[in-house]
Structure 1
Amino acid sequence: MMRLNVPMITSAALVDKLLSRNVFTVFDFLQRPNLDLQDICNLSCKEVSKLKDNIMISYCSDFINAFILYSNSSTNCIQTGIVNLDELLNGGLRYGNIYEFCGPSACGKTQLCYSIISNISITSRNIIFIDTKCEFSIKRIKEIIYHTYHVSKNQMKVALDKIHVYSILEIYSLISCLHSLKEKSELIIIIDSIPVLYLPFVGSSKNEGLCFMNHIHSILKRLCKNKSIVLLTNLAVKNCDFSNEDVTSLSTKQTEYKPAIGKYWLHVPSTRLMLTSKQSQQYVINVTISKSVNLPINKNCILTLNNKGVL
């Protein structure tokens, strides 16, 4: 550790005082309680704290400003290829995070996943798509890629080869599938949709479904530690509370949605995006951040759906 000297400490007299009290190095100085240093140097608490801060910034290279660290992490993400969505997510999907697209039935969750898959597969990234509904449409993926990028047959084949589809019909198979991916890193994993596997356990006296979901959560966290990105789709249900309500007050309650799978699952995603849609001259999807560890809540964007996918 660096020895104390005059450029570091304001005067030679202070250095001599510190050395006489067995404060020889930067480490000794930083570890010494402020009250002791006030007595040794005859300085105020504010002056001692300022001196420590200056030494840490100027001479301790291991310390880094938290804002710089956060700014550098912004490059550690993958763009979805959907401009408005990438802006909403502050650059794209970040490694090590669990994202959830949550919304009522037929609001565009799967189509949004298809567009993200199509855009990412054009680059050098491989994607794991876990289909729990047996509805995966390779025809739709090809349509999005063709109309968006106008690729040749060979380029189309290269893109499709990067999409690895797993058809999962029961929760045990999902657990086994995720376990097989644990030792891999920097994966992009999409699960469409998570409630399909959980709902058969609703009403079970043994509450097995919750135990399985807890296990799935643990595996997803392990995958995220390996710098993978996990994207889930979840069903949103109407948030109705019939206790102590009259009929007239229910109309406002029924317009609000909440994620399915119960209260336990609420904390699992790092970022939850609530989707709602409407059909006018074109299919419009409203995406709102309802929960996030690093993004502003209630910020939203508008997406449109056509033969090119979600734009």
Structure 2
Amino acid sequence: MAPLKSLEHEYPIIDSNFQQFCASHAIFSVEDFLVHDIYVLVALAEQHSNSERLKQGITQVLSIIDGQHQPWLNGMELLEDAQQNKHVLSTGCEKIDMLLQGGLCEGHLIEIVGPSSSGKTQVCLQAASNVAKKHMGGVVFLDTGNSFSPKRIAHYISQISDHADKEGNYKILQKLMSRISCQSVFDFFTLLDVLRQLESSLRSQMQRDCQVQLLVIDSISSLITPILGGQGSQGHALMISAGYLLKKLAHEHNLCVLVTNHMVSGDGGITKPALGDSWKSLLHVRLQLTRDHSSNICKMSILTHPYMASGNTVMFTIL
């Protein structure tokens, strides 16, 4: 999604007059439409002499929003998509790869959910390092809480380096670190803007030597939770829109989207994944991670997977 002004070239109906009308009602971007009562906006447009053109502009923006949602697919299209040669990206952890029959599948929106300090970030960093090294792919790491650790990345890379000499190792480190891009994102609307920029960049990635294969958002729940407050449905609509955009990026550009989520207290004090059932329905894969801090042993369980049994678990040690 984007500022309205950036859409004028592609959609002439979203001209300066339409932008001025929207700005007078504190609407400056496509996202703002999701938090505005459209019926009220149409009624306000009808008070202007160019009401028909303004309403056409409103319809155009709504169609752009609808375009973010996944289209209807028939059974044959779904079968063809499933049979595509999508790569499986190794996480760098043998036990996790064994659980997932090879690793993280391109085209999937995958979530790791778990309590604080359960090892979610470490798994993401190890996966990022391994994709850069073993698959020679690009990694985009969106950091929402200063969790990205270049030293930890360097540590993982050094463990999978094939060179014995220091100079050779340093050159490898330079090359692999350059494949991993990190950007700090501290609010939901910045996330949408970054994802739109990434979508534009991915369209031309075939022209580059290093194609993006993995997108990590650690943690997405810290960005979505603040917009879900209150009694209205706007925050929920924004969350769904973000989920569809992530699935669209994964599907159209054959990359794996890996996000982390935290746990919240549910009925009877039992913890459950944050963001609710609507968010859960958007995921291809949900993995739960727990950790025994006394032994540093972690357990990963499959909660949701399109073709693997829920409840399968594996034990491993955080490096």
Q: Scaled by the length of structure 2, what TM-score is found?
A: 0.65
Distance across 2 between alignment mates of 1:174 and 1:74:
30
Q: CA deviation at 1:148?
A: 4.2
The one-letter code of the counterpart of 2:91 is T
> CA contact under 8 A between 2:131 and 2:214: conserved in structure 1?
no
Q: CA deviation at 1:156?
A: 0.4
Q: 1:175 to 1:75 in 2, by over 3 A?
A: closer
Residue 140 of structure 2 is matched in structure 1 by 128
Where do 1:1-311 residues align within 5 Å? Answer: 76-123=87-134, 124-149=136-161, 152-183=169-200, 184=202, 187-226=213-252, 227-241=254-268, 254=269, 256-280=270-294, 282-306=295-319
Moved more, 207-216 or 268-277: 207-216
| C-alpha distance 303-238 of structure 1, shift in aligned 2 (>3 A) | farther
Deviations 1:113-140 (A, max 9, x none): 1111111111311100011112321122
How far the C-alpha of 1:69 sits from its partner, in A, is 9.6
Given residue 111 of structure 2, which amino acid in structure 1 is its aligned partner? Answer: E
CA RMSD of aligned residues (A): 2.3
Per-residue CA deviation, residues 216-237 of structure 1 (Å, 9 max, x unaligned), is: 1121121122212100000022
Does structure 2 conserve the Cα–Cα contact (< 8 Å) formed by 1:80 and 1:116? yes
Task: Quote the Cα distance in structure 2 between the aligned partners of 1:231 and 1:131.
Answer: 12
Structure 1 residues 288 and 74, CA, compared in 2 at 3 Å: closer, same or farther? farther
8 Å CA contact retained: 1:182, 1:219:
no
Structure showing greater radius of gyration is 1
Q: Deviations over 1:281-303 (max 9, x none)?
A: x3111000011111111001111
Asked whether the 8 Å contact 1:235–1:260 carries over to 2, the reply is yes
- Contact 1:101 1:273 (8 Å CA) reproduced: yes
Cα distance in 1 between the residues matched to 2:116 and 2:146: 16
Taking structure 1 as the reference length, the TM-score comes to 0.67
For residues 28-67 of structure 1, give each alpha carbon's deviation from its aligned partner in whole angstroms, at most 9, with x where no partner exists. Answer: xxxxxxxxxxxxxxxxxxxxxxxxxxxxxxxxxxx9xx8x
Matched-pair contact (CA < 8 Å) for 2:112–2:288:
yes
Distance (Å, rounded) in 2 between the aligned partners of 1:303 and 1:79: 15
Partner Cα distance (1:301, 1:116) in 2: 17
Offset of residue 257 of structure 1? 3.3
Deviations 1:237-273 (A, max 9, x none): 23333xxxxxxxxxxxx4x432101221111110100
**How much has 1:203 moved relative to structure 2?**
2.5
Q: Displacement, 1:150? A: 6.5
Matches of 2:161 and 2:297 in 1, distance apart? Answer: 22
- 1:170-224 CA distance string (max 9 Å, x none): 1111001111222426631000001111222243243432122111112112112
Equivalent residue number for residue 69 of structure 2: none
- Contact 2:95 2:314 survives alignment (8 Å): yes
| Matched letter for residue 273 of structure 1 | L
Which moves more between the two structures, 172-181 or 75-84?
Answer: 75-84
| Counterparts of 2:220 and 2:117, CA distance in 1 | 15
| Count of residues in Structure 1 that have an aligned counterpart in Structure 2 | 226
Secondary structure of 1:107's partner?
A: coil
Structure 1, unaligned stretches of length 5 or more?
A: 1-62, 242-253, 307-311
1:73 Cα deviation from its structure 2 partner = 5.7
Distance in 2 (alpha carbons) for counterparts of 1:232 and 1:191: 5
CA distance in 2, matches of 1:111, 1:233: 11
